[in-house]
Amino acid sequence: MLRTTQRKGKQSAPLHNTRRGGWGGGETDWTNCKARGLGQIYVLNQIFQPTGFSFILAGADRQVIGDLAPVWYGNAAEAQIKQYRVGGIQTLNFYIVPQVAYSHAGIFPWDAANNTQRDGVVMGRQYIPGGSASGTNTGKVGGHEAGNWLGLLHTFQGGCDGGDEVDDTPPEASPARGCPWVRDTCPAEGRDPIHNHMDYTNDACRFQWPAGQIERMHNMWTLFRGNDAEDPGHGGGSWE
């Protein structure tokens, strides 16, 4: 279980682990899985240390769903894993699954406000620490998705004419991949924010939260998830 500590108090959520073929290694297999989950939370705390948010692993659960398809918004696989969801809109449910249709996904808080049941972060297990995704297996993908969960848009949102609604992240025409030395895809002032956690670069390249993003996370928390926010229960919603 994860607890998220923020200025207004503490929140908690389970860490859900789902496999198709069972836990063939028995308790040793499960112990290793929990250790990797703990590693993910350790990385989240490193990533979010400048922001005022922190995370505590307080427990985990495991399931076997033999016919689990790649998870995507609105499909049967999403419903299968999210039947185990607990808590309200302040609860970060972190799902580790064999495969996500787009590798990983975090629900924005304004979408969660209309559908608490679909709220949370879904991760392919290859992206958590020790996973098989070379270059993106140290836990920073989880930090990116938690950023979505806290209300951050991608740095390339809307391309050069759009923006992430944060003044101190320069616009970016498209996602950056790998770890480019320098990149400038828009005519506006400033080079692409390739070191920002909300871009798509490799883990080694992502390490920045500008002040505007930190402010936005706290504003979004207060508006949608904070202690005074209303938990509306289940409803519509969308997937990111």
Mean pLDDT of 35-47: 87
Which has the closest alpha carbon to 217: 156, 144, 121, 159?
144
pLDDT at 150: 94
Q: Please give the angle made by the CA atoms of 99, 18 and 114, to the nearest 5 degrees.
A: 80
Q: How confident is the model at residue 32 (pLDDT cuts 50, 70, 90)?
A: confident
Q: Is 145 a catalytic residue?
A: yes
pLDDT at 228: 56
> Does residue 8 surpass a pLDDT of 70?
no
- pLDDT tens readout for residues 206-223: 999 999 999 999 999 999
Given 27, 78, 145, 230, the catalytic residue: 145
What does the CA dihedral 239, 213, 12, 110 come to, rounded to 10 degrees? Answer: -40
Q: Which CATH architecture has domain 10-225?
A: 3-Layer(aba) Sandwich (3.40)
- pLDDT tens readout for residues 146-182: 999 999 999 999 999 878 999 999 999 999 999 998 9
